[in-house]
Every structure is written in C-alpha cells, then in structure tokens.
A and B are shown apart, each in its own frame.
Chain A
Amino acid sequence: MKREVKDMDCAQFERLLHDLDRPGTEGFSLREAALGHAESCSVCAQLLTQAESLDLALRAVAERESGRQAPPRLENLLRDEFRRGAAASARRRVRWQLAALATAAVLLLALGLSLRHRAESPSRNGGSRATPAAVATGNSPALASDSASEQGTLADSQVADSDSSTAFVPLPYADTSAASEDGAIVRVELSRSELASFGLPVTDLSATDRIPADIIVGEDGAPQAIRLVSQSSLDD
C-alpha cells in the first residue's frame, strides 16, 4: 500500500521520526508535516506514539539519573593531584628559567672565548699580529731593549739565549715612522751569515744549516724587527 499523505510519505516519515523533537535537524523543521502525515496514517501514528513513549521513558531515566555523581572523595583526590601537579609545574618553570640563564651564560662565555681565541690564534700559527710601533718604541715586553750584544751567542747551531725567542731586535734599516698598530710575525729560516748581518749573535758562520727566526713585517711589507727562535719554542 503506497501512502502519501500531506506531502510526506511513510518512508520519509520513518526517516525523520526520531528527530522530530531534536532542534537543528531536518526532522524538527518538518515536524508539522510529519505530524500531519501521522494524523492521516494509522501505522505512522502508532510509530509516532512509540517514539514519543520512548522519549518519555528516556527522559524519565535521564531525570532519575541526573543526580548521580562520583563520590566526594574523588574530588579531594583530584584536588590533591592538581596541587601536586601545580607545584611540580612551578618547579619545572623555575628549572627551565635557571637552565635558560645557564645556557645564556655558557653561550656568552663561549662567544667570549671564541673571540679571544680568534684574536690570539694567528700568533699560535706563526703569523700573529704584533705592534711594530711597540717594537720601535721598546714598549713590547718581547722586544729587546738593546741590540744583540745583550743576548747570548748562538752555539753549535742552537739558540744560545733561551730568551731570544721572546726578544725582538729592531732591524737597522727599519722605518719606525711607517710602523702602525698592526703587523705580522712571520717565521723564517735564515743562514747564520744572514742572521749575523742583522746583528744577531751567531757562531760558526761557515755552517750551512738554517736557523729559525721570527720577523715582524709592517703593514707596508717591510721587516721591522727580528728575533731568534729557541729550540724549546720550536718543540712547542
């Protein structure tokens, strides 16, 4: 039996039946048409009655159950847990702040050390910067205040004076006015006769070995001062 009553058939009625009282649904918006259909169809009317009875029954259960809740001890337990969690969270925050501060301090320290290392590294590699001006004026502790006569003599191809590696002797033709704040130390190997020509005290000029020496080269490329390098420095 095909039923079509008031623009709604039974299939559509059954599809919408359980949403008739549910706002926001298609069933709710077509409620009037559905009720109209039920008035004209005894089978759908019975379905509607059953659905309404079920609604009543469910509502009764919901009302009866509405007062049910967990025992109060659960609230106390959870509040304790919350308190512990909040305290732990506060401790974690402090620890994070301390860790952040420590990290920042370490980074700053590392940055400082890095800058210092960068400033010092050329001298370790044999090309450190020196101040020829200091050589010229004798302010540098590494500069000999006098000529090679104050230094020992080179004996048996060795540096005679262990301090010779730290004392520069100004070269005779060095132009001190050309000296600037910056200069480079260059390590070279020279023959004994060449070293003697710079006024350094060496022996056995006929020997063919070459002696290591440091030369300060000014910004204009001209050598400014020279020093002998001790064996111990070379070992280092």
Chain B
Amino acid sequence: MEMTPKIDVADDRLLRRMLAGDEDAFTDLYRRKHPAIYRFALHMSGNAAMAEDVTQEVFMALIREPQRFDPARGSLSAFLFGIARNHLRKRWEQDRRLVPLAGDSEDFDDFSSSASASSNSGHAVGPALSFTAELDSLDAVGRVRRAIATLPENYREVVVLCELEEMSYEEAAAALSCPVGTVRSRLHRARSILVGKLRDGHAMRRVPAVGE
C-alpha cells in the first residue's frame, strides 16, 4: 500500500531553520521530539543510561547528517524513531547483557501457544483482568510496564509506538521500515500476549523495570 506521509508543518519549519544554522530551532525541535525518543529507548532497553545514549545518538545523527531525512519516506518522528531503533539494535549486539530479558523467545513461545489455543477454540477466554481496578497504584502500572518489557522485541516496539506513543499504523510502519499490515498484526498479537501475561500473572515475575 502506498503511504502518503503527513508533513508536520511545525517540524518542517523548524528543520529548515535548523539546517540554516539556527540553534534555537534545533533546541525547539529537540524539546518537541526527544521525550518520545527517550521513552521509546527506555521501554525498549529498560535502561535509563542506554536510553540517554540512544537519544543522544539520534540527535547527533540529525545534527551531523540532516540530509538523511527524506520527507517523502515518512515524518521526522518516524525518521528519528528509526535511528533510535537501529542504535538500540547495535547496542544490544555490542552488549547483550543489557537486553532486558534473555528468555524472550521462551516467553514468546509460552504465550503464543496459550494465545493460539485461546484463539483457535474461540472461547477459551480466561477471567477478566483483575488489575484494572488498581491502575491508579504505582504497582499496577509497574506490572503493565514489566509485562511490556517481557514482550519479544518486535512486539514490544509496536506496543510502545502505537499504544504508548499513540502513533498511527502508518507512522509506526515508517519508523519500523515494515508494511502497515505487519504493524497491525504484530500489535494484535502483542495485545493478545499482554492480556495473557496480565491475566495469568506472568508479569509479576521479576524483570528489569523501565528506568531501574
């Protein structure tokens, strides 16, 4: 499907000024864009130091090679998320100790099989999520956060982008360099897995929480 990227006029204006050497424009752009990038890196890595490093790398890349951004291929946000994702992968390759969960694939197998069983039977629906009543508490939010952190990387990134950062499927597809249909199917799968994790209490397992 042909995607027509939306052009954010404010981003475009700031970027042009930044390219002309306007430091204030760069600062505005950074302040607009960096929180989402930082949070994305934080959710993906579970490590504040790495999230900071990745955010730095992303904006260094924008400063040093702004010409790499092609508005025809997606929004500036998608471009920045794409850089962040590449840096995260490089970091994980360099230091696998910082990957949040070494047993992702095992978890994925467990939950995919249970989710598949649920899906195939069509009616094997478990009890309703019990934590929704306590969402106001830090602990409940922590449980959801940890559940997200246990998702396999491909699923975790669509949850972070589409659910936490409220990106559209198209924007997420541009950031992840994959088709919109792939984003949609990954997100549906990820949500099914999250429902299973939260329902069954898998998220209670001790895993590195965001920012810890």
A contact set with B: CB distance below 8 Å: 1, 10-11, 14, 17-19, 22, 24-25, 43, 46-47, 49-51, 53-54, 56-58, 60-62, 64-66, 68-71, 74-75, 77-79, 81-83, 85-86, 89-90
Main secondary structure, interface of B, reads helix
Contact call B39/A65, Cβ cutoff below 8 A: yes
Taking the nearest CB of chain B, how far is it from the CB of A25, in angstroms?
7
Contact call B210/A75, Cβ cutoff below 8 A: no
In B139-191, the 8 Å CB interface with A consists of 140-141, 144-145, 148, 159, 163-166, 168-169, 184, 187-188, 191
B96-126 contact mask (Cβ, 8 Å, vs A): 1 or 0:
0000000000000000000000010011010
Besides A18-B187, A70-B55, 14 new A-B residue pairs in contact (Cβ under 8 A), listed by A number: A17-B188, A18-B188, A25-B169, A50-B128, A57-B135, A58-B164, A61-B144, A61-B145, A61-B164, A62-B164, A65-B164, A68-B35, A70-B51, A77-B56
Could you name 7 residue pairs across A and B whose Cβ atoms are closer than 8 Å? A11-B122, A25-B184, A50-B125, A61-B141, A62-B166, A74-B56, A82-B63
Decide: A79 near B23, CB < 8 A? Known: A60-B144, A69-B38, A85-B64: yes
Contact call B198/A57, Cβ cutoff below 8 A: yes
Contact call A51/B195, Cβ cutoff below 8 A: yes
Contact call A81/B21, Cβ cutoff below 8 A: no
**B7 contacts A by Cβ under 8 Å:** no
Taking the nearest CB of chain B, how far is it from the CB of A189, in angstroms?
68
The distance in angstroms between the C-alpha atoms of A181 and B196, with both chains bound, is 103
Which residue of A22, A61, A68, A83 has the most chain B CB atoms within 10 A of its CB atom?
A: A61
Q: Which listed residue (B63, B128, B132, B141) contacts A78, Cβ 8 A? A: B63
Contact call A70/B129, Cβ cutoff below 8 A: no
Decide: A57 near B23, CB < 8 A? Known: A25-B169, A51-B191, A64-B141: no
With a cutoff of 8 Å between Cβ atoms, the chain A residues found around residue B64 in the complex are 85
Q: Which listed residue (A17, A22, A53, A82) contacts B129, Cβ 8 A? A: A53
With a cutoff of 8 Å between Cβ atoms, the chain A residues found around residue B42 in the complex are 65, 68
With a cutoff of 8 Å between Cβ atoms, the chain A residues found around residue B119 in the complex are 14
Q: Which listed residue (A19, A22, A50, A85) contacts B199, Cβ 8 A? A: A50
The distance in angstroms between the C-alpha atoms of A58 and B43, with both chains bound, is 13
The distance in angstroms between the C-alpha atoms of A53 and B132, with both chains bound, is 6
The residue of chain A having its C-beta at the shortest distance from the C-beta of B145 within the complex is A61
In B1-46, the 8 Å CB interface with A consists of 18, 21, 23, 26-27, 30-31, 34-35, 38-39, 42-43
Taking the nearest CB of chain A, how far is it from the CB of B176, in angstroms?
17
The residue of chain A having its C-beta at the shortest distance from the C-beta of B136 within the complex is A60
Contact call A43/B125, Cβ cutoff below 8 A: yes
The distance in angstroms between the C-alpha atoms of A11 and B42, with both chains bound, is 36
The distance in angstroms between the C-alpha atoms of A216 and B31, with both chains bound, is 83
Contact call B211/A68, Cβ cutoff below 8 A: yes
The distance in angstroms between the C-alpha atoms of A58 and B166, with both chains bound, is 10
With a cutoff of 8 Å between Cβ atoms, the chain A residues found around residue B26 in the complex are 78-79, 82
Contact call B122/A10, Cβ cutoff below 8 A: yes
With a cutoff of 8 Å between Cβ atoms, the chain A residues found around residue B166 in the complex are 62
Contact call B63/A69, Cβ cutoff below 8 A: no
With a cutoff of 8 Å between Cβ atoms, the chain A residues found around residue B81 in the complex are none
Contact call A53/B128, Cβ cutoff below 8 A: yes
With a cutoff of 8 Å between Cβ atoms, the chain B residues found around residue A19 in the complex are 184
Contact call B34/A69, Cβ cutoff below 8 A: yes
Contact call A24/B168, Cβ cutoff below 8 A: yes
With a cutoff of 8 Å between Cβ atoms, the chain B residues found around residue A24 in the complex are 168-169
The distance in angstroms between the C-alpha atoms of A78 and B25, with both chains bound, is 13
Taking the nearest CB of chain B, how far is it from the CB of A45, in angstroms?
9
**B60 contacts A by Cβ under 8 Å:** yes
Contact call A60/B125, Cβ cutoff below 8 A: no
Q: Which listed residue (A61, A65, A70, A81) contacts B34, Cβ 8 A? A: A70
The distance in angstroms between the C-alpha atoms of A17 and B34, with both chains bound, is 32
Decide: A86 near B128, CB < 8 A? Known: A70-B52, A81-B60: no
With a cutoff of 8 Å between Cβ atoms, the chain B residues found around residue A60 in the complex are 135-136, 140-141, 144
Taking the nearest CB of chain A, how far is it from the CB of B136, in angstroms?
8
What are the 9 A-B residue pairs with the smallest beta carbon separation, nearest first?
A: A53-B129, A69-B35, A86-B21, A53-B132, A60-B135, A58-B163, A70-B38, A57-B144, A62-B164
